[in-house]
Structure 1
Amino acid sequence: MTFSVQQTIPTFRIFSLDKAKEFYVDFLGFQLDWEHRFEDVAPVYLQVSRAGLVLHLTEHHGDCCPGSTAFVRVSGLRDYHAEISTKDYGYLRPGVQATFHDSIQMEVTDPFGNRIRFDEMT
């Protein structure tokens, strides 16, 4: 069988489930697919998704380091920017910038220092 990649799922370190939901679900419009804890006081591991982008968010210290970046090629970036610009989220107001590589880009930084660069070719 020929090797092929089916999907890439970035994993971001988080420190607060409430702050993560406020950012990813309420502000960016992702849906919460599932969340898991081994017990009530254990760190949470969850999945959020939107428009084909799937992210794993984890409080587990050994899973990954905070401050990671995911580069995501998209279409409809200006519409998405307009949508999130209407949200009442006081910690971030991203803009759309032209890049040197013939695209437009919007970068968002979550409360834990992780970044998503949404990039659309022009």
Structure 2
Amino acid sequence: MPITVDEAKSAARSLRKSLAESGAARLTHAQALEAVARTVGFRDWNSCSAALLGPRPLAAVPVLRVYDEAAARQFYCDYLGFAVDFEHRFAPDLPLYLRVARGGVQLDLSQHHGDGTPGTVVWLPTVDIAAFHRELRRRDHLTTMRPGIDRSAPGGPTVELLDPFDNALRFCEPDG
């Protein structure tokens, strides 16, 4: 029976714990993952995890233009609850490129000229729009930002927000 990625990660944790308890060796999690991958017949962890995950559908990642790093982080991370997946700059004084994620949604935020167009609209399917709305209301981002749920929006109940850069985010619980 083939193993899953979660089972391989669990095996790596068990390997680390067992080796540490016996005093034989101390491995990092990455080293343990590499060892498990070789044990199940792969050259490295990246090959192993890709094979175990199997084919995945293509997913689009919108690139939104942002101008102010602090405002972007406050809005997307602090208010909307996205986590930073990665960030990149070619040099410390050059523009930021940042990927944020929440659930299965990823958004790229870029300060680079030519990336994204201010005023872009992104439609984001949401499982429980009422719970998401309550979460936002608890955070009370700005006194002027108190979104409601538009129950007459095409596609299903929607919470629409404008980010600090005039990009519209439409969080929608699809009908049906």
Q: Same fold (TM over 0.5)?
A: yes
Q: What's the counterpart of residue 6 of structure 1?
A: 58
1:80 aligns with 2:103: no
Calculate percent identity across the aligned residue pairs: 35
Q: What's the counterpart of residue 16 of structure 1?
A: 68
The two structures have a TM-score, normalised by structure 2, of 0.64
- Kindly indicate whether structure 1 or structure 2 has the higher relative contact order, using CA contacts under 8 Å at least 6 residues apart: 1
Give the residue type in structure 2 aligned to 1:18.
A
The whole-number CA distance in structure 2 between the counterparts of 1:100 and 1:65 is 24
Q: What's the counterpart of residue 48 of structure 1?
A: 100
Bigger Rg, which one: 2
Greater share of residues in strand: 1
After superposition, the C-alpha distances for 1:6-54 in whole angstroms (9 at most, x for unaligned) are: 1110110000110000000000000011110000110000000001010
After superposition, residues 1-122 of structure 1 pair within 5 angstroms as 5-90=57-142, 91-99=144-152, 101=154, 103-122=156-175
Give the residue type in structure 1 aligned to 2:63.
T
The whole-number CA distance in structure 2 between the counterparts of 1:100 and 1:27 is 23
Give the residue type in structure 2 aligned to 1:104.
P
The whole-number CA distance in structure 2 between the counterparts of 1:88 and 1:19 is 15
Q: Aligned-pair distance for 1:88?
A: 3.4
After superposition, the C-alpha distances for 1:44-102 in whole angstroms (9 at most, x for unaligned) are: 00000001010000000111211101012221110011011101311411110112546
Aligned residue pairs, count? 119
The whole-number CA distance in structure 2 between the counterparts of 1:40 and 1:64 is 22
CA contact (8 A) 2:161 2:168 kept: yes
Q: CA RMSD in A?
A: 1.5
Q: Partner of 2:166: helix, strand, or coil? A: coil
Greater share of residues in helix: 2
Q: Partner of 1:103: helix, strand, or coil? A: coil
Structure 1's unaligned 5+ residue stretches are none
Structure 2's unaligned 5+ residue stretches are 1-55
